Amino acid sequence: MAITIKNLMEDIVSQKLDKMIDKLGVCTCEICKTDILCYTLNRLHPKYVATNNGELLSKIDSLSNTFDIAIITEITNAAIIVKNHPRHN
């Protein structure tokens, strides 16, 4: 049985960003999405878990509700910064 170490915040923020991206008024290219994701993750506390692959999804669901407000706030802040300073034309 393989044990995996995973930062759950990566999946939670990525899922939340996918749901919000069209409402943020920012470019939706991979560069901008990745910049928003990285900026957001650098401002949130990581949530590392050691888990079997099957247990990961249930842990993501339970944590996502707990951190919704902080995640939405940080994604919004990141989107503003990336919109004002995109790494492309």
Domain that holds residue 55: 4-84
**For residue 40, is it within any domain?**
yes
Cβ distance 58 to 12 under 8 Å? Answer: no
The structural domain count of the chain equals 1
pLDDT tens for each residue of 35-88: 999 999 999 999 888 876 656 666 666 666 777 899 999 999 999 999 999 999
Show the 3-state SS of 50-89: EECHHHHHHHHHHHHHHCHHHHHHHHHHHHHHHHHCCCCC
**For residue 44, is it within any domain?**
yes
**For residue 55, is it within any domain?**
yes
Residue 55: what pLDDT? Answer: 64
- The whole-angstrom separation of Cα 82 and Cα 48 is 27
**For residue 89, is it within any domain?**
no
Looking only at the bridges linking them, the beta strands covering 4-7 and 48-51 are: antiparallel
Q: Which of 31, 32, 39 is nearest to 13 (CA)?
A: 39
